[in-house]
A and B are shown apart, each in its own frame.
Chain A
Amino acid sequence: MDRKKAVEVVNVAKSFGTFQALKGVSFDIYDNEFFTMLGPSGCGKTTLLRMIAGFESPTSGTIRLHGKDILSLPPHKRRVNTVFQSYALFPHMTLEQNISFGLENLGWEKERRRARTAQMLEMVHMSQFARRRPAQLSGGQRQRIALARALAPEPEVLLLDEPLSALDLKLRQAMRDELRALQRATGITFVFVTHDQEEALDMSDRICVLGHGEIQHLGTPNEIYEDPENRFVADFIGETNFFEVDVLAVNGPQATIRTPMGQTLTTFHKGAQVGSKATLSLRPEKIGMEDQADGPAQSGELMEGRITGRNYMGGYTHYTVDVAGVELRVSRRNAVSHSASFDPGRTVRLGFRHDSARVLAR
């Protein structure tokens, strides 16, 4: 697929004093893409976003917007708009005036401004509030106006700095869908920054996982969850069990390892080397669990274990299972068919498909 590059980040590094916030990262963001920069706080994701907007400049490296170097341009000359974490709606202006502000600065005619503002208000279902001030709005409504204000001037790229973090859970879920729909409808490239992996998995076309000032993994949500590049990514996205394993053989994309529970298995790997130690990552929901009395487990290697802990989470239940001295986390959906719960102390059989586990370099 040959797509136009909207943003090119080339070897961008940033130091604050002796602290290296970004150690030379490079990636491309394509037109019409929902691109997410994900990482723990302090990973440099917000700094990167602020560099694209023009509020900060890199220590070295280049940023291009549709092929043009933008580093020498001040923020007001860059055709990108930002949705701020705090929304930053101007408190002394009505919603209409807030949305129209960018258009005025671009020199749009009054009639055109009015039409565009009305259109944006309608797009975010806020037309009846046009004359209100931001202080009279709820969090979700402010969020919508911030979006409308940033989208009104038709930026080449829309930057979103953790825009959902101030909303409560229900609203956040609804806004995710709305954001995604807006991106599809407008066709504008969205660059989204978040520390919430669930948000990132739900909304993005591609995710860039940042950690320790470097790109840890860049890929689709599915790739990042199912085939993490390294231990950091497997740990940061979702939950997982980590085991230290011995690498017995490597054959192309497959590696054969021995687990601390005593099994030998062959599965996909990233950077494993024969004779060295590696990490095995096994997601809690990939492990099947059955009552010992039910006979043999359906699939994969069988292990016998004893339940030592249980956390009821509503939709699913987390168990902690002791297998030959190794603690395993197992997650089970509370579906109709097996709504019965396993009590702590019970002996169970565990099994998993070998190819659902991943061998990662340490």
Chain B
Amino acid sequence: MTDVKRYPFARSFTALFFLYLYLPIGVVIFFSFNENRLVSVWTGFSLKWYDSALANRALMDAVKISLTVASIATVLATSVALMAALVIVRGRDVKFRRLSETVVNLPLLLPEIVLAVAVLILFSQLGLQNGMAKLIIAHTAFCIPFAFLPIRARLQGMEPDFEEAAQDLYATPWTTFRRVTFPLIAPGVFAGAMLAFVISMDDFITSNMLNSGGSTTLPVYIFGLIKQGTTPELNAISTLIVLGSLILATTALILTFRSEKRA
């Protein structure tokens, strides 16, 4: 095979591609340090928008709600996904294996607006009032398939030999799971949890539908800010979110790399 690097214009084309991907984010980060009130007029370096963002009570509340919902939904969705994957991949004499898998993954194929309307109607029928509870239940539901996919992939890629060896060496089913299965699929479980967390943090449509006093998530709050016109505070918030994502992604990469090196 010809080395891809030898194609003419490969370098400039690659540069163009990454520019296209990251320039908008770069602009946001750049202007978050702008002193001027007008978003697109540079007058000098300043951290004052970070100050005002961090001092904004409503904003901080939204961050707190988003983090709470995402954390709880991640734990719940990952647990359900893990159990589903164990049964679907490892279970003996499972009927409708393919069908079960499709049913678990179906929410990925449905437009989110359909799901959002559906939960809105369901919750009002049930008379559920608690805003946080509604958010957590809805987020858990749509996060499950995202958590499921990496766990299933990891489990399918693992020979059943290790688990058989554990049982052969007198381990009960629970010990087998705790000491062999789980440690070996942990990278998949971690990846699934990360994905679920990001999907929950990022969700707008469902969260907006379920929005009520005291349950405004960060994306919904930001959207509200934009409707009042853009402020440089938005740039600062966005930059902080990018920073948070980078830290999360780096941790994930390091953990995955370590577990691969060990295996």
Contact = CB atoms under 8 A, between A and B. Distances in A.
Given A55-B164, A101-B166, A135-B263, A88 B159 contact: yes
Interface of A: 53-55, 74-77, 80-82, 84, 86, 88-92, 101-102, 105-106, 133, 135, 149-150, 153
B262 A76 contact: no
B60 interface: no
Nearest to A105: B170
Nearest to B169: A102
A92 B263 contact: yes
B165 interface: yes
Interface in B68-90: none
B104 interface: no
B92 to A, nearest CB: 10
A90 B176 CA distance: 11
B169 A91 contact: no
Interface string B146-176: 0000000000000101101111111111011
Contact of A92 (B165, B176, B184): B184
Contacts of B165: 82, 84, 88-90
Given A75-B167, A102-B170, A92 B262 contact: yes
Contacts of A76: 167-173, 176
B103 to A, nearest CB: 27
Contacts, number: 68
Contacts of B263: 91-92, 135
B183 A92 contact: yes
A358 to B, nearest CB: 41
B205 interface: no
16 contacts: A53-B168, A54-B167, A75-B168, A76-B170, A84-B165, A88-B162, A88-B164, A88-B165, A90-B180, A91-B162, A91-B262, A101-B166, A102-B169, A102-B170, A105-B175, A135-B263
B184 A91 contact: yes
A153 B262 contact: no
A53 B172 CA distance: 15
> Of residues B164, B168, B175, which shows the largest number of chain A Cβ atoms within 10 Å of its Cβ?
B168
Contacts of A74: 167
A149 B161 contact: no
B171 A133 contact: no
B215 to A, nearest CB: 41
Nearest to A134: B263
A87 to B, nearest CB: 8
B23 to A, nearest CB: 42
Contacts of B169: 76, 81, 101-102, 105, 149-150, 153
B137 to A, nearest CB: 35
A92 to B, nearest CB: 5
B171 A105 contact: yes
Contacts of B175: 105
A313 B115 CA distance: 72
> Of residues B165, B172, B184, which shows the largest number of chain A Cβ atoms within 10 Å of its Cβ?
B165
Given A81-B169, A105-B171, A88 B262 contact: no
A135 B260 CA distance: 11
A75 to B, nearest CB: 4
A133 to B, nearest CB: 7
Contacts of A86: 159, 161
Given A82-B165, A91-B262, 10 more contacts: A53-B164, A75-B167, A75-B168, A76-B168, A84-B164, A89-B165, A91-B162, A101-B171, A102-B169, A150-B168
Interface in B219-263: 262-263
A105 B179 CA distance: 11
